[in-house]
Amino acid sequence: MIVGSILEDINFEKRVAITPDVVKKYKSIGLNICLIKNYGVHLGYKDIDYSKEGAEIVESSEDVISKSDVLVQLNLCNDENLERLKDNQIIIGILNPYSNENKLKKLVSKKINCFSLELLPRITRAQSMDILSSQANLAGYKAVVDSFAYFQKAIPMMMTAAGTISAAKVLIVGAGVAGLQAIATAKRMGAIVYATDVRLASKEQVESLGGKFLTVEGSENLETEGGYAKEASDEFKKKQEDLLKKTLEKIDIVVCTALIPGKKAPIIIKKNMIDGMQSGSIIYDLAAIQGGNTELTKVDEEIKYNGITILGEANLLNKLPGSSSNLYAKNVFNFVNNLYDKDNNNFKINIEDEIIEKTLIK
């Protein structure tokens, strides 16, 4: 059985789904690998690095697709390559079923098995496959580093003979995986860190990292069974707005990470809140691709408003493609390993397995 992968559009997506190290893992369980020529060269992975581990290198995407039983990607392929997929073939990736509903329905009607990894259930057995956590971890780190690079003052407190420089004050909006990593990174660099989240369970995690948790008076725990945030009530939103507006007046850097799977990102920071912020402040919006957590965020644009810089990249992990590919490739291998029936040398779609059932597009 063969697992293949073709190049993404590297203008938008530099990550790859298979690294040379992971080829060894596939070979160890009896699977072969087929890749397009120059698959990882933009990340410093030469074809010889892959072939040394046992991967087959072919000339075209068409060759990879025709040879492969399973195609592993980051994103859904372009229309030309989707047309090349065959009955009973399997495609695995971040397929974004909410935006690609029509394309995926067409594939399902052609008896192509599509697995979207962002739909993985939050259960212990799926942790090693959890692409949202592995990628969000790096995004939280990088958002803080980039924000600090834009900020035109020192981050830690410094006591000098000429006087004291105060530590930068950072607010993390959303204390999921990305938010918690952002808190940890900002604290390591000497900032004073505040955080807010609609899930009360986040309070202990925030405080364990040295952050100060902002609690809305009389707040309820807005957490789904799957561990994600859910939509807040209008009353809660009003209380949160009042607390945030007051807090933002003394904040230097804001990192927004709040997302609701499958929905437009909640607008948490309104324009009137930004009006009260200090000139020179930075807002980094990790939710930009889903609409943004601020009213002023625009994807891939650097917004200047009253001396405040608002940043929101479509794909921040394009700045860390080596590290993010390394983690993503391991996540994907663990998913494929769960899908592969070694005894019968085939891929078994067992819908009684919660991991398979939740990620399979029907």
Provide the token pair at 261. 């799977």
Mean pLDDT value of segment 61-76: 97
Compute the average pLDDT of residues 102-131: 95
180/268 same-domain check: yes
Please report the pLDDT score of residue 236 as a whole number.
Answer: 74
Q: What is the pLDDT of residue 360?
A: 97
My answer on whether 188 and 284 are in the same domain is: yes
Range from 215-219, 233-237, 258-262 that averages highest in pLDDT? 258-262
Q: Considering the chain, what is the average pLDDT of its residues?
A: 93
Q: Tell me the C-alpha to C-alpha distance, in Å, between residue 201 and each of 124, 196, 339.
A: 18, 11, 33
Q: Say how many domains are in the chain.
A: 2
Q: Is residue 311 domain-shared with residue 164, that is, in the same domain?
A: yes
Could you tell me the sign of the dihedral formed by the alpha carbons of 249, 228, 200, 204, in that order?
Answer: negative
What CATH number is associated with residue 87? Answer: 3.40.50.720
Q: For residue 124, what are the contacts with CB-CB under 8 A and spacing of at least 6?
A: none
Verify that 312 and 328 share a domain, yes or no: no
Which residue range(s) make up the domain with 40?
2-119+321-353
Q: Specify whether 70 is located in the same domain as 217.
A: no
In a domain, 82, yes or no: yes
For the stretch 35-58, pLDDT in tens is 999 999 999 999 999 999 999 999
pLDDT at 231 over 80: no
User: pLDDT band at 98, cuts 50/70/90?
Assistant: confident
Grade residue 185 by pLDDT with cuts at 50, 70 and 90: very high
**90-93 vs 70-72, strand pairing mode:** parallel
pLDDT of residue 151: 97
Q: How many residues does the chain have?
A: 362
Is the residue at 131 inside a domain?
no
> Helix %, strand %, coil % for the chain, to 5?
40, 20, 45
Instruction: Specify which residues 283 forms β-bridges with.
Output: 254, 310
Token pair in block for residue 219: 């707040």
With a cut of 60, say whether residue 228 has pLDDT above it: no
Does residue 164 sit in the same domain as residue 259? yes
Per-residue pLDDT tens digits for 250-298: 999 999 999 887 788 999 999 999 999 999 999 999 999 999 999 999 9
75, 114 contact by CB (below 8 A): no
Local confidence band at 232 (pLDDT 50, 70, 90 cut-offs): low
Q: Is the pLDDT of residue 222 over 60?
A: no
* pLDDT-derived band at 218, boundaries 50, 70, 90: low
Residue 62: count of CB within 10 angstroms of its CB: 14
**Looking at the DSSP assignment, which residues form a beta bridge with residue 171?**
194, 254
Identify whether residues 93 and 168 lie together within a single domain.
no
Pair (177, 53) in one structural domain: no
Asked if residue 129 is part of any domain, the answer here is no
Asked if residue 125 is part of any domain, the answer here is no
Check whether residue 326 and residue 264 sit in a common domain: no
Positions marked catalytic: 122, 127, 130, 133, 228
Residue 216: per-residue pLDDT: 74
- Predicted local confidence at residue 325, as pLDDT: 98
156 and 168 within one domain: yes
Instruction: Decide if 216 is inside a domain.
Output: yes
Same domain, 273 and 174: yes
Domain membership flag for residue 282: yes
Q: Tell me whether residue 327 is in a domain.
A: yes
Q: Is residue 362 part of a domain?
A: no
Report, as an integer, the average pLDDT of 54-65. 97
> CA 185, CA 261: separation in Å to the nearest integer?
25
Residues 200 and 286 in one domain: yes
Among the listed ranges 9-18, 40-49, 235-244, 291-300, which one has the minimum average pLDDT value?
235-244
Report phi then psi at 156, rounded to 5: -80, 160
